[in-house]
């Protein structure tokens, strides 16, 4: 059981939008530690999608956006494309555990 | 262009020590705010952060694995080495190294392709 909780799977048709949640607690997301998001296509290197809650690295399409509120964060993907099919992970820091944490991951299926 | 590449044995026996090397290019580990981290992913499981070595010689470890891990950097060779002692079959995983950006909540900007390490007798 991950300290950062993500839904195991989400799905959507091409062109639709999906949101992936990441729920933490008062010692990580709720303590104002930034949340970061990664896209991982199995067999390839994970890719940074969002850093510091809402910021997109250069080259990441604006179809991807991040938000944070209270003890949770979300990754929104609009205009779904087949190439978006991947595993998505949130990541933050936990002050009680004194460690960097990843969520359990969410598998996005593009129908 | 930033690249990182992991190297080391793909098969280790239980109780042995694993030594992995991350060779990187496109940045300097002497640069303020940068680090190189190790992260692993057991088959079918989530990512797990292991350790990070920062530009200022600050090394941090996952508390659950701290007693088994050592991370060192060689700035002149652009390499970071991770050793993990007393390997067990549950340590079978794909091991990644990544460029870490120092912050109150650090993050990983670029990743290597990863390498699968199997622990089996």
Query: What tens digit of pLDDT does each residue of A9-55 get?
Result: 999 999 999 999 999 999 999 998 999 999 999 889 999 999 999 99
Cβ contact A36:A48 at 8 Å:
yes
Cβ contact A24:A6 at 8 Å:
no
CA separation for the pair B109, A2 (Å, rounded): 22
The tens-digit pLDDT sequence of chain B (121 residues) is 999 999 999 999 999 999 999 999 999 999 999 999 999 999 999 999 999 999 999 999 999 999 999 999 999 999 999 999 999 999 999 999 999 999 889 999 999 999 999 999 9
**Which pLDDT belongs to residue B103?**
86
Cβ contact, residue pair A33, B48, below 8 Å: no
* Chain B interface disruption, residue of A32, A41, A99, most B CBs within 10 A: A99
Query: What tens digit of pLDDT does each residue of A80-100 get?
Result: 999 999 999 999 999 999 999
Residues from chain A that touch B103, judged by Cβ atoms under 8 A, are 34, 52
Residue B113 sits at the chain A interface (C-beta within 8 Å):
yes
Query: What tens digit of pLDDT does each residue of A61-74 get?
Result: 999 999 999 999 99
């Amino acid at each position: 059981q991950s300290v950062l909780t993500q839904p195991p799977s989400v799905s959507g048709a091409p062109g639709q939008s999906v949101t992936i949640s990441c729920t933490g607690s008062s010692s990580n997301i709720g303590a104002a530690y930034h949340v970061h998001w990664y896209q991982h296509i199995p067999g390839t290197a994970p890719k940074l999608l969002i850093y510091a809650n809402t910021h997109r690295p250069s080259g990441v399409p604006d179809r991807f956006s991040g938000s944070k509120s209270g003890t949770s964060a979300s990754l929104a993907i609009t205009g779904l494309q087949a190439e978006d099919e991947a595993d998505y992970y949130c990541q933050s820091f936990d002050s009680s555990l004194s460690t960097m944490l990843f969520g359990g991951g969410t598998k996005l299926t593009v129908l | 262009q930033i690249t990182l590449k992991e190297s080391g044995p793909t098969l280790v026996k239980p109780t042995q020590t694993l030594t992995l090397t991350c060779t990187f290019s496109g940045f300097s580990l002497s640069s303020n705010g940068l680090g190189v981290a190790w992260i692993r992913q057991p088959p079918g499981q989530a990512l797990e952060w292991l350790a990070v070595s920062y530009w200022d010689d600050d090394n941090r470890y996952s508390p659950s694995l701290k007693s088994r891990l050592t991370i060192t950097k060689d700035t002149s060779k652009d390499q970071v080495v991770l050793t993990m002692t007393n390997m067990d079959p549950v340590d079978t995983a794909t091991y990644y190294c990544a460029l870490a950006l120092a912050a109150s909540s650090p993050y990983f900007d670029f990743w290597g392709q990863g390498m699968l390490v199997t622990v089996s007798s």
